[in-house]
A and B are shown apart, each in its own frame.
Chain A
Amino acid sequence: MLDGEKGDAIAKLMQLIVKIGEVNNAEKLIPIKSAQIAGVSYFTVGDSIFSFFDLLLKDEVKVSVPSWLNPAGMDRNKWKTMKIDDKFAKKQFEIIQNYEKMGIETTLSCTPYLIGHQPSYDEHLAWSESSAVIMANGFFGARTNREGAPSSLAAAITGLTAYYGLHKKENRGPDILIDVEAQINHPSDFSVLGYWFGENFHGSTPFFTNIKNGTIDRIKMMASAMASAGSVAHFHIQNITPDAKAISKKDIEERIVFTENEKKEIYELFNSIEGKIDLVTVGCPHTSLSDLMMIESYLKNKSLRDDVEFWIFSSNKIIQSEAASNTIENLESRGIKIFADTCMVVSPAVRSNFLNIATNSAKAAFYLSRDDNINVKLLQLERILESVTE
């Protein structure tokens, strides 16, 4: 492949994988089972990607393993409701179609593991969305590094990745034990714990003790926050994650306690709304069906005030599913907007239409608050809804 007998594009992609391997002292390349590819939203990739597509499509390259895409910059069906303009939409559709030509499944989700793409234990992957990477490693015990947009695409096409980092068992152990003393109940609490860890222990792997009620939906909130605040790519939780049993607490030298004080500090970091909330948004990472049902139960006998909007982000497969139809209908009848294929982080729509945004996700709060014009409040969803319903 390197010599170009399969075309210039393949040679380039192969060279990319080999060089990344060399720089990281990888002794070999290994086959991967699947690839999850970033670089989809026109808002985050811009126009440069089109010249790269030209190179790949000239040689008609195709992926050689099951591959799927990260969220785009808009809902494919409801982009007008999001107030996305025609020019943006045209470019966005073009990007998605170009990936489709390479045989990539256009799932447009950051939670492939919730929609039929659960990785198996010990499987080698090349995933790139940071929250999906950390869930694949930590929750499922699969093995992937944090791939970049081009390296995940190169892996999807060649079927190979370099054997280094989290692909090797010896790099997957915990660096630090976190004793969770604070009450961690709501999805936003899990998100706050993850954010605190990421911010303080950049790039390291935690072993959490005393976490109860660790459902996949709560853990995805924690994992995504660790990944965005601190480039964390792996974690262990006592009694929950697959490798935790084999870890002896005695062997971990560094120990830190997460108390109510730390929890409070993080909530206060994202508390800049002084006036009224104009948008409530959840779905970072994308909501599951049970998340949607939980929101439905919070809203029982309540109605949203007219001066506030509520945007939920999920994946197409969940929104379109038979099982979700009643819940979706019920939520939409209350004026709630449910969008697929995108989210508040990778779409320009949330940033350009709202100023005072409340969310239960520390990852979303972190990215939205980088925009100087936007005020963000991070809070548990029940409490947010109390303040915007009648």
Chain B
Amino acid sequence: MRKLKIRSIVDGKVEGVALVSPTPISFFGEIDPQSGVILDSKNPLFGETIANKIFVFPEGRGSTVGSYVIYGLAKNQVSPLALVANKAETIVIAGAILADIPLFDQSEEDVTVVIKNGDIIRIDSEKQILEIKENEK
């Protein structure tokens, strides 16, 4: 098991399966708010859903209305369990706060490299620690 120190922006205690995007995500246009499915055909995760996963990505990008997409995911009950970014910028922060989705960033390491797709991870905002368990697959 590996442990990473992280910063908690929206608090929460979660455990779940990681879905890791190697590229920055524009929530508007690249995620379907109805299903959480990744719509960007250039993303290796194309067609997978972020619903009920711990979604790991480098940072947000694109239109600031992406925050409303994150809120829409929660309203449609397809939100991720948590968001983990290298750098949380305003689009992701605003969306996570509005939607009450736990949000973490600022690990010393690149989370999109250290965490592998399918890893079970556990995050506790009180301890500011992210634990990576063995890959299930």
Chain B's closest residue to A154 (CB) is: B94
Which of B9, B10, B67, B88 has a CB less than 8 Å from the CB of A150?
A: B67
User: Roughly how many angstroms separate A47 CA and B71 CA in the complex, as a whole number?
Assistant: 11
If A38-B64, A149-B64, A150-B98 touch, whether A48 touches B71 (CB-CB below 8 Å) is yes
A240 interface contact, C-beta 8 A = no
Residues in A whose Cβ lies below 8 Å from that of B91: 148
B65 interface contact, C-beta 8 A = yes
If A23-B88, A48-B68 touch, whether A12 touches B93 (CB-CB below 8 Å) is no
Which of B69, B76, B95 has a CB less than 8 Å from the CB of A46?
A: B69
User: Roughly how many angstroms separate A48 CA and B69 CA in the complex, as a whole number?
Assistant: 5
Q: Is the CB of A148 within 8 A of B98?
A: no
Q: Is the CB of B68 within 8 A of A19?
A: no
A30 interface contact, C-beta 8 A = no
Q: Is the CB of A51 within 8 A of B64?
A: no
Q: Is the CB of B98 within 8 A of A20?
A: no
If A46-B28, A48-B33 touch, whether A149 touches B72 (CB-CB below 8 Å) is no
Task: Tell me the chain B residues, 17-64 only, with Cβ under 8 Å from chain A.
Answer: 28, 33, 63-64
The minimal Cβ–Cβ distance linking A130 to chain B, given in whole angstroms, is 10
A45 interface contact, C-beta 8 A = yes
The minimal Cβ–Cβ distance linking A363 to chain B, given in whole angstroms, is 15
User: Roughly how many angstroms separate A60 CA and B10 CA in the complex, as a whole number?
Assistant: 26
If A46-B28, A49-B68, A51-B71 touch, whether A150 touches B63 (CB-CB below 8 Å) is no
Task: Tell me the chain A residues, 127-142 only, with Cβ under 8 Å from chain B.
Answer: 128
Q: Is the CB of B65 within 8 A of A44?
A: yes
Q: 0/1 per residue, B108-132, Cβ < 8 Å to A? A: 0000000000000000000000000
Q: Is the CB of B97 within 8 A of A16?
A: yes
Query: Chain A CB within 10 Å — which of B67, B68, B93 has the most?
Result: B68
Q: Is the CB of A148 within 8 A of B75?
A: no
User: Roughly how many angstroms separate A49 CA and B33 CA in the complex, as a whole number?
Assistant: 10
A15 interface contact, C-beta 8 A = yes
Residues in A whose Cβ lies below 8 Å from that of B135: none
Q: Is the CB of B9 within 8 A of A19?
A: yes
Residues in B whose Cβ lies below 8 Å from that of A39: 64-65, 68
If A19-B97, A39-B68, A46-B33 touch, whether A151 touches B90 (CB-CB below 8 Å) is yes
Residues in B whose Cβ lies below 8 Å from that of A15: 97
Chain B's closest residue to A16 (CB) is: B97
User: Roughly how many angstroms separate A15 CA and B99 CA in the complex, as a whole number?
Assistant: 12
Which of B33, B68, B94 has a CB less than 8 Å from the CB of A16?
A: B94
Which of B63, B65, B75, B95 has a CB less than 8 Å from the CB of A51?
A: B75
Q: Is the CB of A52 within 8 A of B71?
A: yes
User: Roughly how many angstroms separate A154 CA and B71 CA in the complex, as a whole number?
Assistant: 15
Residues in B whose Cβ lies below 8 Å from that of A20: 90, 93-94
Residues in B whose Cβ lies below 8 Å from that of A154: 94
If A148-B91, A148-B94, A151-B90 touch, whether A23 touches B9 (CB-CB below 8 Å) is yes
The minimal Cβ–Cβ distance linking A102 to chain B, given in whole angstroms, is 15
If A45-B65, A48-B33 touch, whether A150 touches B94 (CB-CB below 8 Å) is yes
Query: Chain A CB within 10 Å — which of B63, B76, B91 has the most?
Result: B63
Residues in A whose Cβ lies below 8 Å from that of B65: 38-39, 44-46, 48-49, 149
Which of A12, A23, A45, A147 has a CB less than 8 Å from the CB of B68?
A: A45
A-B contact pairs, 13 of them (CB 8 A): A16-B98, A19-B97, A38-B64, A39-B65, A45-B65, A47-B33, A48-B75, A49-B65, A51-B76, A52-B71, A52-B72, A148-B91, A154-B94
